[in-house]
Amino acid sequence: MIPNQSIQQFKADFFKAMAHPMRIRILEVLSDGDKNVNEIQSILGSEGSAVSQQLSVLRSKNVVTGIKEGTSVIYSLRDPLIKELLAVAKQIFDNHLVDAISLLEVIRRE
């Protein structure tokens, strides 16, 4: 595989791993600090099996890591830049929202 294709494939796989609302929310929760499944489940108000399933996807794609502590596994972001990536995604969303609101205001005036 050509080096650029390898990077592009990595990016595609990385974004696929993040392409689920619960996985994004889990990453947002982990952006605030390391947590075990029960803590994540409690914050999300979701079933443990659903959280575990999404954590498994994130682990398999090396987006999060898990370290066993006693009977629990403590999850963390594999790379702290993920927190910044999520912040940039929110800024992009906010920019789109501002554009949509501006367009609605123009339509209302017409």
Half-sphere exposure of 53 (CA within 13 A, CB side): 7
Among residues 64, 61, 86, the alpha carbon closest in space to that of 75 is found at 64
* pTM flag (> 0.95): no
What pLDDT, on the 0 to 100 scale, is given for residue 2? 62
What pLDDT, on the 0 to 100 scale, is given for residue 39? 96
Q: Is the pLDDT of residue 1 over 80?
A: no
Give the CATH number of domain 3-78; options: 3.90.1150.10, 1.10.10.10, 3.30.360.10, 3.40.50.300: 1.10.10.10
Within 8 A by CB and 6+ apart from 21, the residues are none
Q: Which sequence spans correspond to the domains of the chain?
A: 3-78
List pLDDT tens digits, range 36-48.
999 999 999 998 7
Tokens of 95: 């920019």
**Band of residue 99 on the pLDDT scale cut at 50, 70, 90:** confident
- 20, exposed or middle or buried, with CB in 10 Å at 0-12, 13-18, 19+? middle
